[in-house]
Copies of this chain bind each other. A is one copy, B any other.
């Protein structure tokens, strides 16, 4: 009975009180939609996503649904199927109150590739990050078990090389096909791969090794089925590592933004200043303030 999981009228009515103002973006391929509106006079973003189809529901789906024929041609026919509601939920994420930054993040935008030299990092990117003072409170809440403690899949509590491993919001944890976990390191102050030197090798190797072991133990997925990587630019400036099921084409796993953890470790081993000295390419959205800074500096 799905009503057992209801959390009272509060959660039941949150969407009926939502006053939509516009669709920020959508993906017909991924069946997602990002919507801006108001919840009790506060700006909010509502994210709708249809979850993957799962094998364990098929028997009930085939026997318990109603079916309407759309088209028949030779050996091909198509139908519309209405599944029982409990087999066909949508995932909803609400961000409230949502800041201007959230709205920009979810607004569909064109991207531009920036080639950031080491000097560009010091003179453009780092000052920009510092000026923005992005809040990391939600990350610290996780590390300090003030939030999402029950979602933690694995923890190594060591303050230097330790980390917390937990499912990414994008993953509903019902099937491993789109497995998506995040390892958040306990060490504070490492903003991104730009902050990494050879001194962080024990931390990186520990996350790589123990993260893979924890996933093997809990989900029975061996290392050969995993894509393990960092983003540059990351979406928040506290070091974290992405673990995906290999075949799952997660957003942001493209070569222009992702850096395999195995490559990062090797690059630091052979050149301790690799990420302090190399030019790094990454995409920025049209309305990203950092792109404006690169434009103003005549770099794009």
Contacts and interface: CB of A to CB of B under 8 A. Distances in A.
A11 B62 contact: no
Contacts of A11: 67-69, 79
A52 B75 contact: no
Given A89-B81, A223-B113, A74 B249 contact: no
Nearest to A86: B82
Contacts of A68: 2, 5-7, 11
A91 interface: yes
Interface residues of A, number: 114
A266 B147 CA distance: 42
Interface stretch (A154-162, A198-206, A225-233): A225-233
Contacts of A120: none
Interface string A1-31: 0110111001111111010100100111111
A192 interface: no
Interface string A49-64: 0111101001101110
Can you tell how many copies of this chain the complex includes? Answer: 2
A33 B98 CA distance: 35
A105 to B, nearest CB: 13
User: Chain A interface mostly helix, strand, loop or mixed?
Assistant: mixed
Contact of A254 (B58, B98, B245, B253): B253
A26 B262 contact: no
A85 interface: yes
B53 A77 contact: no
A126 interface: no
Interface of A: 2-3, 5-7, 10-16, 18, 20, 23, 26-33, 35, 48, 50-53, 55, 58-59, 61-63, 65-69, 71, 73-86, 88-98, 108, 110-115, 137-138, 141-142, 147-148, 151, 169, 175, 177-178, 223-227, 229, 245-250, 253-256, 258-260, 262-263, 266, 270-271, 277-279, 281, 283, 300
13 contacts: A5-B80, A14-B79, A15-B79, A28-B178, A81-B91, A82-B88, A88-B90, A113-B223, A113-B246, A115-B262, A227-B255, A262-B279, A263-B281
